Every structure is written in structure tokens, then in C-alpha cells.
Amino acid sequence: MPVKAVLDTNIWISYFINARANYLIKWIIRNPVTIFTSQELIDEIEEVLTRPKFKKQFPYPVSDFLSLHLQVCEFVRITKEFHFAPDADDNFLFDLCKKVNVEYLITSDKKILAYKPPFNLDIVTFQEFGSKF
């Protein structure tokens, strides 16, 4: 049975801007994981990728990266219910995690890594997550 997880925007952006998207996608495909996404996560990825400081770092249109993201993720519609994230802009991540009952939220955000949500969820770095396989 695949492990269920959500990758925070900062993970996607890190792999996209460092030209390592292929590595991330292959890792997802080769391991027993199901990665979930939502419109809110897609919108945030798109917003970050179109910022002037990142825009020049991409050899392909942002739509190509979003298409790639959607090809390896399972899309879920969420309702906004969570209001306790360390940063209110991240509440949607916890809504997504809770809706799908994922085991892991993968992030590099120190505030999120230190946070203990009021439901069962392991918050880890990608390196910690990857070491489980």
C-alpha cells in the first residue's frame, strides 16, 4: 500500500529551480508513494514560479512544470477549515493533509517542521522522508 504524502510548495520550487524536476518525478514514480495536490497548492506553485526573481531561471513555460506536477499527483478538492498553521498562508496544506489523511507532510519550512498539528501527521524534510524507502 503506497504511503500518502503532501509536498510543500518549497519542495516543488526547490527541485524546479535547481533543474532537478526529473529527479523528483522519477523518485515519486519509483517509490510506493501517492503524492496529493489541490488547487491551492497549484496556485501557490504558479504564483512563486512567476515571480520575477524565479521567472528567468526556468527554461520552460511555468505551465509545463504545473502539468508535470499534475501528472504525478492525485488532485483533491479541499475546503478551508484549518486555522492553526504557524503561517496562515499554509493552512491549506493542513486542510489537504487532513482531508486525505496523509501520513507525511514534506517541507523545508522550519516553522512547519517544528509545528505539531492537532491530528496525526508526521512533518519531515524530503531527506527524512526519502530515507524511509
- Domain boundaries defined on the chain: 3-130
Q: What is the per-residue pLDDT for 55?
A: 72
Query: What is the Cα–Cα distance from 3 to 35, expressed in whole angstroms?
Result: 8
- pTM of model > 0.85: yes
Q: Which of 103, 105, 99 is nearest to 79 (CA)?
A: 99
Q: What is the per-residue pLDDT for 53?
A: 81
Q: Could you tell me the end-to-end alpha-carbon distance of the chain, in angstroms, rounded to an integer?
A: 13
Handedness of CA 119, 124, 130, 133 (dihedral sign): negative
Which residue stretches of the chain have pLDDT < 50? none
What class, spelled out in words, does domain 3-130 have in CATH? alpha beta
Q: What is the per-residue pLDDT for 114?
A: 96
